[in-house]
Structures are given as C-alpha cells and as structure tokens.
Amino acid sequence: MDIEQKQAEVIDHFVKQASVLKGPALVPLIVEATSNPSLFAFSEILSVPNVLELEGTENSVYVGLLRLFAHGTWSDYKSNADRLPQLSADQVLKLKQLTVLTQAETDKVLPYSQLMQELDVTNVRELEDFLINECMYAGIVRGKLDQLQRCFEVQFAAGRDLRPGQLGNMIQTLSDWLSTSDNMLLSIQEKIKWADGMSESDKKHRKDVEDRIEEVKKSLSLKLTYVVAEVATCKQADDFRGHEEIYSEPGGVMDYEEDRTRPKSWTLDIY
C-alpha cells in the first residue's frame, strides 16, 4: 500500500471519530492524530464542525495544535510554545518531519546548515540519520545526500496542507503554467508545420536534382554515341586512303609486276 492510500485511510478514520466526539473528548483524538506515524495531513480533521467548536473554550489550544501540524514548522512551535500544549516525543518527531516537507516545497537543494538550524540538529551525522531513517524510509521524501557539497538534493517530497491564502496563489501559478503550456504547444505546432513544409520542399528539390541528373546522363549518352560514330567513320576513311596510296604510288606493286613481265634487253659495250 503506498503512502497516499494509507494516509487517506488514516484521515478517514480520524474524521469519522471527530464527527461523533464532542468537547474534551476530542483532546485525546487530536493528540493521537498529531502523533500518528502515517498521518501528515490535518486540514480535513481541522474542518470537522465538532473540532471547530473547541474555539473559545479551555481546549482551544488543541485547535491551535492542529493548525500547527497542518501548516507550521518546528520553529513556529518554538516561537509559540507558551500558547500551545507541550509536545510528546512522537509529536516532536512528526513536526520535524513536516518541517522538512515545508523546506522542500520551495527549494530542491537544501543546505545542511539550513536544515540543522530548522531542526535543532547539532551535527551532520545526526542530520543524515534523521533524513534517512525518519524521512526517506518513511516515504515522505526521496533524494540524495551530498556529503561533499553538504546538502540534501530533493527528488520527491509529499505535499502538506494548503495554508490560508495559498490556494489563490496556487490557482494563479497553475493558470500561468497553463498559459505557458498553451503558448509552447502553439510554438511546437508551428515548428511541426515548418518541418513538414521543409520536408516537402526537400522532396521536390531532390526530385528536381534526380531529373536533372537523368537528363545529363541521357545527353552524355547521346554525345558519346555520336563521338563513337564519328571516330568509326574517320577510321574507315583513313583505311581507304591508305590502300589507295599503296596501289597508286609510282614504283609500287603494279609497276613491279609490269617490270617482271616485260622482256629484258642486254647491251654489250666493247671498249
């Protein structure tokens, strides 16, 4: 069972009990709720009509105690200890756990010095033991202890009850986030359209280049065919002229044959 589901069941239990109890009978229930190791939200109990009826009575300090656990910190208790009931060890532990959650609401990197001051811890070893054993093992925070930088890097922290006036700020924050998200979505859609347009342009450009290459190939093929034909024609002409020169040259083959068939005449000169 995760922490949210378990806490919801615990809250439902205390709300039902508070709805049937009245007056001083609510005091032990409030003490039990603020000591319960599985309960970290108190606004539902605080809103029960029977609990609110304690205002203005001798037990009104317990309404203040619930408000402290719903919205306050260990430092707040120390500043108002004279107007609140004395806390048990379990309540002190619970309030210090809630103090860590409050610190993690605004900062995701918590310096050891800041936590030691808020929790009244005197040394780093005690602080790290508290964060590991009482916070991370309890499932209310997840993070990394950086001993070199002496800080706690928060990765997750359970939410606390909304403080009075905080709801309006949260609604405004969510409205701003929604507006920013809408603008970002429009920007992304425009970039997608631009990318699609560039894709089509690239395809057309590629097609034009491929067509041009094919035209150049065809042109080169035709020119090569023409050149080969011209070379062949020139070669035939050169061969024909070579034979013509051989047979028409004076003293060539034909003249030699004629000399072989002509009768020979001898002349003897006597000196």
The strand pair at 109-111 and 141-146 is best described as unpaired
Backbone dihedral region for residue 3 (phi beyond 0: left; psi -120 to 50: alpha; all else: beta): alpha
> What confidence category does residue 237 fall into, taking pLDDT thresholds of 50, 70 and 90?
low
Confidence (pLDDT) at 61: 96
Name the residue ranges covered by the structural domains of the chain.
Answer: 2-157, 165-227
> What confidence category does residue 213 fall into, taking pLDDT thresholds of 50, 70 and 90?
confident
Considering only residues 34 and 247, tell me which one the structure prediction assigns the higher pLDDT. 34
The alpha-helical segments, DSSP class H, found in the chain are 3-20, 26-35, 43-46, 49-52, 60-71, 74-79, 89-106, 112-119, 124-130, 166-248, 253-261
Considering only residues 29 and 209, tell me which one the structure prediction assigns the higher pLDDT. 29
Confidence (pLDDT) at 241: 56
pLDDT in tens, 259-269: 555 554 444 44
* Residue for token pair 């080169």: 220
Give dist(CA 88, CA 90) in Å, integer. Answer: 5
Model-level pTM? 0.66
- Beta bridge pairs of residue 206: none
Per DSSP, the three-state class of 111 is strand
Cα distances (angstroms) measured from residue 153 to each of 95, 99, 114, 175, 271:
21, 16, 13, 28, 141
Portion of the chain with pLDDT greater than 70, in percent: 81
> What one-character-per-residue DSSP string does 11-80 give?
HHHHHHHHHH--GGGHHHHHHHHHH-TT----HHHHTSHHHHTTTTSTTHHHHHHHHHHHH--HHHHHHT
Portion of the chain with pLDDT greater than 90, in percent: 55
Confidence (pLDDT) at 4: 75
φ/ψ of residue 228, rounded to 5: -60, -40
Q: Looking at residues 131-154, what average pLDDT do you find?
A: 96
pLDDT in tens, 178-189: 888 888 888 888
Q: Are residues 50 and 22 in contact, defined by beta-carbon separation less than 8 angstroms?
A: yes
Question: Residue 78, exposed/middle/buried by CB under 10 A (0-12, 13-18, 19+)?
Answer: exposed
- Average pLDDT in the chain: 84
**How many other C-beta atoms can be found within 10 angstroms of the C-beta atom of residue 128?**
16
Query: What sign for the dihedral angle of Cα 123, 124, 125, 131?
Result: positive
pLDDT in tens, 37-74: 999 999 999 999 999 999 999 999 999 999 999 999 99
For the chain, report the end-to-end CA distance as a whole number of angstroms.
Answer: 152
Given a cut of 90, whether residue 207 has pLDDT beyond it is no
User: Which residues, 6+ apart, have CB-to-CB distance to 99 below 8 Å?
Assistant: 73, 74, 75, 118, 119
Confidence (pLDDT) at 267: 44
